[in-house]
Amino acid sequence: MYAQTFIQQAHSNLESGDLRTAMALLQKAKSLAQKDPPLLATVYLEMVKVFAKSDRNDAAIEFFKKAIETDPVVSVQASQYLQELTNSGNKKLSTRLQKFLPLVHAETSTIKPASDESILSPREDHQSQTILALSNKFADFKLRFAMKYVAGACVVLLLCIGAWMGLSLVFKPGDTGLLDNDRIKDNIGQVFIVADYMAPNQVTVPLSFGSSFAVSNDGYLITNKHVTDMIHKAVEDIMIEKCQLVVCFGSRPSDRFNARIVHECPYIDIALIKIERRFKNPYVHFKENVSPGEKVLACGFPGTSRDLVIALDSKSWFPKYYEEITKLEEKGIADFFKILPDSSFTVTITSGIISSLHTIDKIKWVQTDAAVNPGNSGGPLITMDNQVVAVNTIKHSQSESTNMAIMAGQLKKELAPWVKLK
């Protein structure tokens, strides 16, 4: 189901000319369709269309062959596409691709002429072979479907008999193999500093500085030390009377929790904070063995990164919010978080791959091309099976596709006095 959704979305992007997004969606569909040859062949054929529009004819030919070899039935769709390709003016590529259709049909066909009268013209012979190949393929599909149905029924029966044992082994908490959006929303919080600014009239201002994620059931969260450092700078500002570290999981007041700093690592940019909240399924599984090319997801709150200031200076950021806060107070609205749109409290998820692994000053880093911004600092870099790989930390100032994250596995010993990480 997910693969088909990605294919449909990719087709829409292809129609609108967004080839890069279309290919990214098809790559996801390809991963999900590995055990479904008909669906995989469809994915390959959609990739051919993207490559053709990109003028990458060699790649289009390679994936056209893959589509036909994966499932000959797709040749019907392929023939239609070749006609569309010819009509669009790309007759040269259409001709090059056409030659792969007869070869596949000849291999799958069993037609033999009974007499001279039954010998067909090349065109008729090709059509007959195609029809017979499709018929054979359909019959084979029905047989495979029936076998799968019977096998599936047996598996279900066995699972029912040993459910209390089997379920605990097959379905491990937090490891479903599918992206769990509800789990992401529940465990990843936005880190704010709420400061009381001393002016002729005192005003309270919330400033977003990064992200965090839960690593225990009883309220411990990991973030970056450079995020928690901001509250130390706020305390030193003579214009601020008091300030509080707050973690938000939504736009409602009930989604906000005061936080305290439990531990700031002296040699690595990591901090542990604590809130009074229970988490049903926190991120306690850290994956240590990763390789370049592995798919990852960067989660956090880059949307409010405009509120990030390198050095906390009340003289610079207070005028920006004073007028908005004053208007809220005049309306009798005491909730100062209302100066931020609800959309700024939504977790952003960006996909990419691990580009490389580095060890610098004995600290292990993951380099990724997953898009991050300053507000992502402290958020997790996770795999598709919901395991934490690293903590997003640094965005390269000169590159949109080079971002660094601290390998999470090396934090187990450092944080062992407070949380048990696996």
Q: Is the pLDDT of residue 160 over 80?
A: no
What are the tens digits of pLDDT across the range 386-408? 899 999 987 654 445 568 899 98
Pick from 357, 349, 419: nearest CA to 384: 349
Q: Which residues contact 399 (CB under 8 A, 6 or more apart)?
A: none
Q: Which of 108, 131, 163 delimits the end of a domain?
A: 108
* Residue 376 sits in the same domain as residue 263: yes
- Per-residue burial over 214-237, b if 16 or more Cβ lie within 10 Å, else e, is bbbeebbbbbbbbbbbbbebbeeb
Looking at the structure, do residues 401 and 260 belong to the same domain, yes or no?
Answer: yes
Q: 366 lies in which domain range? A: 181-415
Residue with tokens 């037609």: 111
Written as six digits, the tokens of 63 are 């994936």
Q: Is the pLDDT of residue 145 over 60?
A: no
Q: What is the pLDDT of residue 91?
A: 84
187, 316: one domain: yes
More confident residue, 107 or 282: 282
Domain boundary among 108, 143, 165: 108
The CA–CA distances, whole Å, from 121 to 106, 117, 177, 312 equal 15, 11, 52, 82
Is the confidence at residue 273, as pLDDT, over 70? yes
Chosen domain end from 69, 91, 108? 108
> What integer pLDDT is reported at residue 215 of this predicted model?
95
Does the pLDDT of residue 162 top 70, yes or no? no
Q: Are residues 191 and 304 in the same domain?
A: yes
CATH number where 326 lies: 2.40.10.120
The number of distinct structural domains making up the chain is: 2
In contact, 103 and 109? CB cutoff 8 Å? no
Residues 379, 232: one domain?
yes
Measuring CA to CA, how many Å separate 296 from each of 353, 364, 371?
Answer: 5, 17, 11
| Assigned domain for 421 exists | no
pTM: 0.55
- At 258, the pLDDT band (50, 70, 90 cuts) reads very high
pLDDT digits (tens, 9 = 90+) for 275-325: 999 999 999 989 888 889 899 999 998 865 444 444 456 666 666 677 777
